[in-house]
Amino acid sequence: MATTQAPIGAQEFVPGDAKTLDELKAAAPGCRGCELHQDATQVVFGRGAEHARLVLVGEQPGDVEDQRGLPFVGPAGRLLRDAVGDAGIDPSIIYLTNTVKHFRFELRGTRRIHQTPGPAHITACRPWLVAEFSLLKPELVVALGATAAKALFGPSFRVTRSRGEFLPWPASAQHPEEFPMAETRAMATIHPSAVLRADDRDAAYRGLVDDLKTAATVLR
C-alpha cells in the first residue's frame, strides 16, 4: 500500500506554460504530488469542452473511473448525465473534473472501498484544478458534494445549507487570487453518488435536477 509521507504537492508537475487542456492532461500521469498515484491504476484527468461554459467539479475518481481513466463513467456518472439531461443542459458545454485526480481507496479482501480524500490530498492536487480553470474560464462552476465544495469555497462551507444558491466567482473561492478570471457564478449541489446512497432516491434525484435547473438559468 501507499506510503503516507507528507505530500509534496502537484505544483512542480503542472506545466506552467500549458496552452491547452490536452497539454495538462498529457503531463498528469507523471504527477507524484502525493502518494495516491502509488495504488491507483492511473490518473483520471478532467474531460469535456475546451471552451466549456459550465464546469462540474466532483470529489475523486471512483473504482470504474480509475480502471477506465475517465471521470464520471461509473454509476454516479451515469446518474449525473441523466440529471444534466433532465435539467435541460446541453452536455456539449460541460467540462467534468475532480478535486483529486487519483482514486483513494482501502483494500478489503479483493474489494477496493472508496475513501474520502484527506485535506492533504486536496491541497496537493489543487494546482491541477487551478490550471484547468485558468484555461477554461467558465461562466459557471458547480461543485458536486462536500469535498469539492469545501475545496473550492473553504472548509466552513456546508452544501446542505447553501446548495442551489448562486455565489460570485472567484470572490467566493477560498483563494480567489488563484482564479484570475472574469467575475462569474458558482454553486454547490450534492454529488450524484449521494443520490445513489439516499434512502429516498427519487427525492434526492429531483433535488439534484432542481439545482442543475437553477444553474442552467445563467447559461441561457
Nearer to ligand SF4, 59 or 211 (CB): 59
| C-beta atoms surrounding 169 within 10 Å | 23
CB contact at 8 A, 8 and 124: yes
Judged on CB neighbours under 10 Å (0-12, 13-18, 19+), 68 is middle
> Hey, is 37 helix, strand or coil?
helix
**Considering the rule CB under 6 A, would residue 46 count as an interface residue with ligand SF4?**
no
**Percentages helix, strand, coil for the chain, rounded to the nearest 5?**
45, 15, 40
**Considering the rule CB under 6 A, would residue 14 count as an interface residue with ligand SF4?**
no
**Considering the rule CB under 6 A, would residue 36 count as an interface residue with ligand SF4?**
yes
Pull the grid cell for residue 76: 454516479
Q: How far apart are CA 89 and CA 73, in angstroms?
A: 18
**Considering the rule CB under 6 A, would residue 34 count as an interface residue with ligand SF4?**
yes
Q: x/- contact string, 172-211, with ligand SF4 (CB under 6 A)?
A: ----------------------------------------
For the CB of residue 63, give the shortest distance to ligand SF4 in the complex, in Å. 16
**Considering the rule CB under 6 A, would residue 24 count as an interface residue with ligand SF4?**
no
With contacts defined by CB under 6 A, name the span among 68-76, 84-92, 121-129, 160-168 that binds ligand SF4: 121-129
Nearer to ligand SF4, 54 or 131 (CB): 131
142 forms beta bridges with: 56, 187
Among 21, 43, 79, 84, binds ligand SF4 (CB under 6 A): 43
Q: How far apart are CA 190 and CA 206, in angstroms?
A: 11
Residues that bind ligand SF4 (CB under 6 A): 10, 28, 31-34, 36-37, 43, 100-102, 121, 124-125, 128
